[in-house]
Amino acid sequence: VSLDLDFTLNGRPCRIDCPPHWTVLDLLRDGLSLLGAKDGCGEGVCGACTVLLDGRPIRACLVLAARLDGHALVSIEGLEGDALDPLQDAFAELGASQCGFCTPGMIMSAKALLAVDPAPSAHDVREALAGNLCRCTGYVKIIEAVLAAAQRLGSHSAVEGEGG
């Protein structure tokens, strides 16, 4: 038995068969060879597999691939167009990525935040990323990068920093 999925992947139509027990993460990594989403715990805690389903962040390791049928999925590989996404630029420039293993998931969560709140406060960023674990950076430069990206994207000027 296999599923016949028809969905939008990173802006393009995608039709693929997959075993019914596969998660979105299995499908991305093993079915589609998209390796940006990482498996850090397999139980929805670390956030390294975060991708966007119809614009909302999901834990790819917890959601069955069957859910994708008729929907739109965006992974880290689908974020850049002709240029990198401002989040990607800001993460690289400001040193928000160290070992890089949490980075794709972190950026996808940030992307989802900026889509609904283009001018988040530092605290908003902390809340939005609280489900993405990073062990290298202490989150300082990650939060800075999201705020910087918001500012670059932003029409809104009021972006708060944190303490000084």
Partner 1 sequence: MDGPAYRVIGKSLPRADAWEKVRGRPIYAGDLALSGMLHGRIVRSPYASARIVSIDTRAAAALSGVAAVLTHADVPRNELRMELPGRMAEATAGAVLATQPVLAADRVRFQGEPVVAIAAETPEVAAHAAELVEVEYEELPGVFDPLESLRPGAALVHEGGNVLRRWQLRKGDIREGFGRAEVVVEHTYRTPFVDHVYIETETGVGWIDAEGVLTLRVSTQVLEHFRDVAEVLRLPHSRVRLEGAYLGGGFGGKEDVTVECLLGLLVWKTRRAVQLVFSREESFIGHGKRHPYVMRYKTGAMRNGELVALEAELYSDAGAYAALSPWVLFYSLVTATGPYRVPHVHVDAATVYTNNPIASAYRTFGSIQTCIAYEGQMDALAQALGMDPLELREKNFLHKGDAIATGQVLESEPMLGETMRRAWAALGPPRRAEAPVRIGRGLAASFTPYGRMCWTRDSASAWVGMELDGTAVVRCAAPDVGGGQTASLCSIAAELLGLPAERVVAVGRDSHFTPRAGTTTATRQLFMSGNAVLKAAREVRRHLVEQAAEMLEAAPADVELYDGRAFVRGASDRSLALAEVVKAATAAGRPTQVLDKFDAPSAPTIDPLTGQGKPFNDYTFGTQAVEVEVDEETGVTRATRLVACYDVGQAINRQSTEGQIEGGAVQGLGHALLEEVVLEQGISKNPHLLDYKIPTTLDAPVIESILLESGNGLGPFGAKGIGEPAMTPTPAAVMNAVSRAIGRRITDLPITAERVLAKLKSRA
Residue number with CB closer to partner 1 (5 or 96): 96
- Count of Cβ atoms closer than 10 Å to residue 41 Cβ: 14
Interface with partner 1 by CB under 8 A: which residues? 30, 33, 35-43, 45-46, 48, 75-77, 79-80, 84, 87-89, 91-95, 97-104, 107, 125-127, 129-143, 162-163
Report, in Å, the least distance between residue 109 CB and partner 1. 10
CA distance 120 to 148: 11
Q: Are 95 and 143 in contact (CB under 8 A)?
A: no
Residue number with CB closer to partner 1 (81 or 155): 81
Residue number with CB closer to partner 1 (55 or 100): 100
Provide the H-helix boundaries in the chain: 24-26, 86-93, 103-116, 122-128, 140-153
Report, in Å, the least distance between residue 50 CB and partner 1. 11
Report, in Å, the least distance between residue 70 CB and partner 1. 25
Residue number with CB closer to partner 1 (6 or 46): 46
Name every residue whose Cβ is closer than 8 Å to that of residue 108 and which is 6 or more positions away in sequence: 50, 51, 52, 57, 74, 75, 76, 79
Residue number with CB closer to partner 1 (150 or 155): 150
Alpha-carbon distances, residue 78 vs 4, 74, 90, 125 (angstroms): 22, 6, 17, 22
Report, in Å, the least distance between residue 108 CB and partner 1. 9
